[in-house]
Structure 1
Amino acid sequence: MTASATWPDIAFTPWKESCAALHLYTQIVGKYRLAHTPWVNHSWHATLYVTPRGLTTGMVSDGAGGGAEIVFDFHDHAVIGMAADGGSARFALEPMSVAGFAQKFTALLQDIDATPQFDGRPNEIPDAIPFAEDVAERPYDADAVRRFHGALVQITRVFETFRTAFLGKVSPVHLFWGSFDMAVTRFSGRDAPLHPGGIPALPDDVTREAYSHEVSSAGFWPGGGGIDYPAFYSYAYPTPDAFSKAAVQPEAAFFHETLGEFVLPYDAVRQADDPDATLLAFLQSTYDAAASLGNWDRAKLDCHPGKPRQPRAI
């Protein structure tokens, strides 16, 4: 298999409308997890995780037997609910409205004796329509969704490798359904200045808790939000002086003045001779800029990447 085949083509424009629908579907499922999970720092309790077949909530402490899991299966194109008592239910991912998805998801939760209660309003989307009122028919491009999942599998693998080269506090590799991005975040260990907030349809206290400490964060968007192509990003909060002028790799990476972060088009990785090395160079060089310019204690925080079956040397 060639590198370009391993990293699938996920051009944004052809599946833009399907992507927008999938984003809202993940918000509905994510809000179920959010409603039934105790708060974890930086909203890590609310995220979704990539699996070999799609996305999962992981176990939510709710429902028959005390546990439920919701899965997006992007191979069979279904949403599946599983309960700790062995019960399960599913419905097909296909063209439908957001309201229709919410109705089917509520019925699925009832079928597995889970609690069908969650907030009915989208987050981080300007002028968003409540789920129950969003009755416009949405497309579902099954092939595009399958290729998107293939990209998430590759991205997760590289992000997890990058995550190992840090001894400090670091997030899981996870998908934030609010902004619909994969992310992995490193922390300096120091408090950050109060975040100004102002993210559309997101309470400022949530934003300020998420950015309570200094971070260098990297991630991936499928497109939208200021760019019309899939791309990797990297930013620091607070932003160190001269961060935007830092020399980063690879050559295709650049500082996006409007977004205030470094951006690397996904296709620059997909089409590279060594996609893994290209993406790792972006992740490492942008972290280097954030940590060095931000005066992080790198002697205590940085380490060699982890390897299978090799305990880290003390």
Structure 2
Amino acid sequence: MSERPDMWPKLDHAELAPMVDYVNRIVQVAGKYALDDPFEVGWGNIVLDVTPRGLRTPTFRHRDATFSVHYRLLDGDVVIETDEDERRLPLSEGSVASFYRAFCDVAAELGVHAPRTSLICEIPDSPATFEDDDNERTWDAHAAHLMWQTLNLVAGGLEYWQAPFLGHRPRVGVMWGGFDLSATRHRPQPAPPPPDAPPFMQNAQINAYVAVGFSFKNLPDRPSIGMYAYIWPQPDGLADRAWGVEGAHWDEEAGLVLLPWDVLRQTPDPRQAIVLFGDAVYQAAVDTADWPAELVGPRVDGWHMSRTATPATEYLHG
């Protein structure tokens, strides 16, 4: 599982911020279709998969069409693919508003209705709707490649961390509202959400969960790229714990455990560091919030198992 740390790129918040902001908005356009599908606990149904070339929606099986939308960050385009045909939209220059109009026009050609809402969500100080966001944008291919490379590397670590969990765990993917790469572990323990939280957060917090993820904008009040984690409901006793990786720390103001990107990429094996970080967070949930330790099984090397004889195979080939 080890890999060269120099594969993990340097990231500059100021360089990436314009593209992160732009991509966050445009992925919400197709992401809205997930709201037509049955709600899964923790919004597990809405995440975008990290693909070999970008971010893709789940397959939507609607009455008039079966389709998916692929935001190809490495190609600078968007592909709408249906059971009948496909169309591509370039992402060279323009505004969110012009992209939204073009998207709806092309989707209509394929028999796909427009998203049922055009509200922009979870982005502070944003125009209210896609139609209102007429700021001109320029596609930065280098920044887009860095974004994909980062998400792809981190997704590998989070998937490895998630694998032995025996409870409910939605697939690892990008939550298109906050634009964070998320891995969550849930258990059926009611957790009354805060009454003043927005509805989407109240729906997310109806049961207890542990979240580990990555964000290009961890903290709204200061630049911060890296891993985050939290336990919901938040227990006491998190301030003085170790978090698996030197440099990971509890941020009391944010209510998050943070592992900065510059710290992560300098570890001998960043993917293994993600696993150690996630394991430390889950152990904190066991120690401080009575999460069951037995919900985590052993990490098994599937290749080794497939090549190692068992008594049954020895008998069959005996």
Same-fold call, TM cutoff 0.5: yes
Partner of 2:310: none
The RMSD of aligned alpha carbons is: 2.0
Cα drift, residue 111 of structure 1:
2.4
The separation in 2 between residues aligned to 1:16 and 1:165, in whole angstroms, is: 34
Superposition pairs of residues 1-314 of structure 1, within 5 angstroms: 3-34=4-35, 36-62=36-62, 66-85=65-84, 87-129=85-127, 130-192=129-191, 194-196=192-194, 198-199=196-197, 203-204=198-199, 206-223=200-217, 225-299=220-294, 301-308=295-302, 310=305
Structure 1 residues 145 and 18: CA distance shift in structure 2, 3 A: same
Write the letter of the residue equivalent to 2:282.
Y
Q: Percent identity?
A: 26
Cα drift, residue 295 of structure 1:
1.2
The separation in 2 between residues aligned to 1:53 and 1:103, in whole angstroms, is: 24
Question: Does the CA-based 8 Å contact 1:164-1:306 persist in structure 2?
Answer: no
**SS in structure 2 of the partner of residue 47 of structure 1:** coil
The separation in 2 between residues aligned to 1:169 and 1:38, in whole angstroms, is: 16
Q: Which runs of 5+ in 1 are unaligned?
A: none
Question: Does the CA-based 8 Å contact 1:63-1:114 persist in structure 2?
Answer: no
Question: Does the CA-based 8 Å contact 2:47-2:58 persist in structure 1?
Answer: no
The separation in 2 between residues aligned to 1:308 and 1:105, in whole angstroms, is: 42
Q: Which runs of 5+ in 2 are unaligned?
A: 307-318
Cα drift, residue 171 of structure 1:
2.1
The separation in 2 between residues aligned to 1:10 and 1:105, in whole angstroms, is: 30
Relative to the length of structure 2, the TM-score reads 0.89
Structure 1 residues 245 and 197: CA distance shift in structure 2, 3 A: farther
Question: For each residue in 1:150-203, what CA deviation from the matched residue of structure 2 results, as whole angstroms up to 9, or x when unmatched?
Answer: 1111111111110012112222101101111011111233221x111545xxx4
Relative to the length of structure 1, the TM-score reads 0.90
Structure 1 residues 142 and 46: CA distance shift in structure 2, 3 A: same
Larger radius of gyration: 2
Write the letter of the residue equivalent to 2:140.
D
The separation in 2 between residues aligned to 1:273 and 1:112, in whole angstroms, is: 48
The separation in 2 between residues aligned to 1:49 and 1:108, in whole angstroms, is: 22
**SS in structure 2 of the partner of residue 39 of structure 1:** coil
Question: Does the CA-based 8 Å contact 1:8-1:270 persist in structure 2?
Answer: yes
Cα drift, residue 63 of structure 1:
7.1
Structure 1 residues 281 and 114: CA distance shift in structure 2, 3 A: same
